[in-house]
Structure 1
Amino acid sequence: MKIGHCLIAVAASALVAAAPASPGDGAKPGSNPIIRDRFTADPAPLVVGDTLYLYVGHDEAQRDEMFNMREWLVYSTRDMKHWTAHGPIMKVADFRWAKKDAWASQTIRKNGRYWFYAAVEHDSTHPGKAIAVAVSDSPTGPFVDAKGSALITNAMTPKGTHSWEDIDPTVFTDEDGTSWIAWGNRQCYIAKLKPNMIEIDGPITEITPPHFEEGPWLHKRGKLYYLTYASLDRSTQRDEHVSYATAPSLAGPWTYRGLLTGSGKYSFTIHPGIAQFRGGWYIFLHNASLTIGDQNGAIGRRSVTVEYLRYNADGTMKPVVQTDAGVSVPPPR
């Protein structure tokens, strides 16, 4: 979930029967937005065998509300064109120590279980945004609070400039089995996770790249590690773009590589999620182009999109152009 430069769920809810994610409005399968029957944001893909699962926040803002997010949803696909809805996997209320804001999340698989990390607003015992961790034996839940308290609180990053900096977790397990978590708003932090996946192992390090705003995403291709994130050059940009940096290891050093894509249509925020699936690479984003009934897209009513992701010979990523066609057409050459 996002704030940007404006201030802007124990058992999970019973799963609904799996159903197509779109209402059949005539759009070509694979075109954007990929989910058309509700507003979704902050996409986080996870590949398990021949299936890609996509975890998203559920935007429920009414009228002029900025954000109203109370639960997380998951969808799945086997062909990148047809999506199945599996219902809410958790509500923010399932974290009893949290009081609101089911913001950006990511799920990873490790040791046969599924670990879900998400940003929420902590109660008054630890004021500010915090990062929660839940666990399940299935990618579609139910997920339950794995720790009974926050993994990361605002007090753990005392050098930050504001109370909402501890948001947007991304988690990555390296080839040696070590898992890392990165997160942040305006400041970007990274830390190792203990093997139990519910505690930080060692120091928290700041790795803020140029124009970093929020929404970091970690992935690896070949020998390069990538930190892709929502960026904002306040001197020239009104809305968030996506930029990235690369490094020879998760410990850095990180080299800024510039812009990857522009802003999402009609949206101040944007949030990248990257996955390799069935031999291809994909980047998931969000914009605010969807209309459902009498509700237009807005800062609190966003919609998830997907585009092909391509690389140059030197490992840098080719610029991504956001389209309506999405992956309904073959990838560009």
Structure 2
Amino acid sequence: MKRITKHYLATLLLVFVATNLFSQNPIISHIYTADPSPIVYNNTVYLYTGHDTASVDDTNYKMPDWHVFSSKDMVTWKDHGALLSPKTFSWATGDAYAAQCIESNGKFYWFVSTFHKSDSVSKGGAAIGVAVSDSPTGPFKDAIGKALIINEMTIDKKHAWDDIDPTVFMDDDGTPYMYWGNGSCKYVKLKKNMIETDGPITVINPKNFIEGPWAYKRNGLYYLVYASAGTKPEMIEYCTSTSPTGPWNYQGIIQENVPNSFTTHPGIVDFKGKSYFFYHNGSLPQGGSYRRSICVDYMYYNPDGTIQKIVQTTQGVAPVTQ
């Protein structure tokens, strides 16, 4: 009986150690992070994030800067620090909302959403800027000295924060496209220099779209994944198309509500033969809707290209073998 008790206690200890050893979500725990944007470069995943600094009593966002993290195994993440902030842009003011960085011709273009100062160019409101660097970890500088998109360019929504959450992807022919929006989704073709628009802004209305789009192409199919307004808190839904300009076919919900946050935000990447889905929730101690934390779980596709429901876990993903 004594040996059985010892064996039982030893088993419990092993389970406890294993559970804590392999509980990876949230993947960043020393600061609050939000709005994940992953890319793969040189066998490394670089993760660009927002940074929540609101107090537990605050009732709105405080997001002073954007951080960059990197990992070679999807489990161990290095914090490269706050490499960009609205203060980088002479025209900008306010918080560091969702952003995405992509590589093109050896340079890294970080498309960000913040707010524009009220001046002779704009009456204010949300705006999209672009920073550039020769390295995925900076230093980054304002690429054009002005906003790429200002509130006056889009008039389908009357609120001042509709020009947020840019996502950019490169089509197979080298043409970049940018999608963004709150309340409606907009897109525009970019010139190959990545710092100018190439044609008109078009408004589309994917079913239940509210904000946070993530656009990409996989096996000849275009995906538009986004936070949905069908319910509060937000969920993640998506559409597919055979063209980057649509028409978009609604495919359904892939992520249900997240713990302790009324927002969520997708970031999707393939790495070492597996697909990964990044998102944020409020599950860290004293976390919440204004103190969010980034997580990652596996993402699976059906043979027809549709996406299976994301299973949110505390374990996260296993280390990638090199």
TM-score, reference length from structure 2: 0.90
Q: Deviations over 1:235-294 (max 9, x none)?
A: xx2200000000001011100001011111110000000001011100100000001xxx
The CA distance in 1 between the partners of 2:144 and 2:22, in whole Å, is 39
- The answer to whether the aligner puts 1:83 opposite 2:77 as a matched pair is yes
Question: How many residues are paired up?
Answer: 298
- Higher helix fraction: Structure 1 or Structure 2? 2
Shift in CA distance, 95/329, structure 1 to aligned 2, threshold 3 Å: closer
The CA distance in 2 between the partners of 1:43 and 1:30, in whole Å, is 19
The structure 2 residue matched to 1:139, chosen from 136, 139, 155, is 136
The structure 1 residue matched to 2:147, chosen from 146, 150, 156, is 150
Q: Which residue of 1 aligns with 2:62?
A: 68
Report runs of 4+ in structure 1 exceeding 3 Å deviation. Answer: none
Residue pairs, 1:1-333, within 5 angstroms = 27-28=20-21, 31-65=24-58, 66-125=60-119, 126=122, 127-233=124-230, 237-291=231-285, 296-328=286-318
Shift in CA distance, 261/329, structure 1 to aligned 2, threshold 3 Å: farther
Instruction: Give the superposition deviation at 1:29.
Output: 5.1
The CA distance in 1 between the partners of 2:281 and 2:46, in whole Å, is 20
Cα contact 2:297–2:312 (8 A) shared by 1? yes
Moved more, 189-198 or 129-138: 189-198
Q: Deviations over 1:93-135 (max 9, x none)?
A: 1111111111101000001100000000111122100001000
Q: Secondary structure at the match of 1:93?
A: helix
Q: Which residue of 2 aligns with 1:17?
A: none
Q: Secondary structure at the match of 1:275?
A: strand
Q: Which amino acid aligns with 1:110?
A: S
The CA distance in 1 between the partners of 2:204 and 2:108, in whole Å, is 27
Gaps of 5+ in 2: 1-18
The CA distance in 2 between the partners of 1:208 and 1:301, in whole Å, is 30
Aligned-pair identity in percent equals 50
The CA distance in 2 between the partners of 1:61 and 1:329, in whole Å, is 32
The CA distance in 2 between the partners of 1:191 and 1:270, in whole Å, is 24
The CA distance in 1 between the partners of 2:171 and 2:64, in whole Å, is 32
Cα contact 1:30–1:81 (8 A) shared by 2? no
The CA distance in 2 between the partners of 1:84 and 1:238, in whole Å, is 33
Q: Deviations over 1:3-61 (max 9, x none)?
A: xxxxxxxxxxxxxxxxxxxxxxx943561000000000000001002100000001000
Instruction: Give the superposition deviation at 1:63.
Output: 3.0
CA RMSD of aligned residues (A): 1.3
Q: Secondary structure at the match of 2:102?
A: strand
The CA distance in 1 between the partners of 2:21 and 2:34, in whole Å, is 21
Q: Deviations over 1:193-214 (max 9, x none)?
A: 0122111110111122011010
Q: Which amino acid aligns with 1:28?
A: L
The CA distance in 2 between the partners of 1:329 and 1:96, in whole Å, is 41
TM-score, reference length from structure 1: 0.87
Cα contact 2:227–2:234 (8 A) shared by 1? yes
Q: Which amino acid aligns with 1:279?
A: G
The CA distance in 1 between the partners of 2:73 and 2:142, in whole Å, is 31
The CA distance in 1 between the partners of 2:158 and 2:257, in whole Å, is 25
Instruction: Give the superposition deviation at 1:154.
Output: 0.8
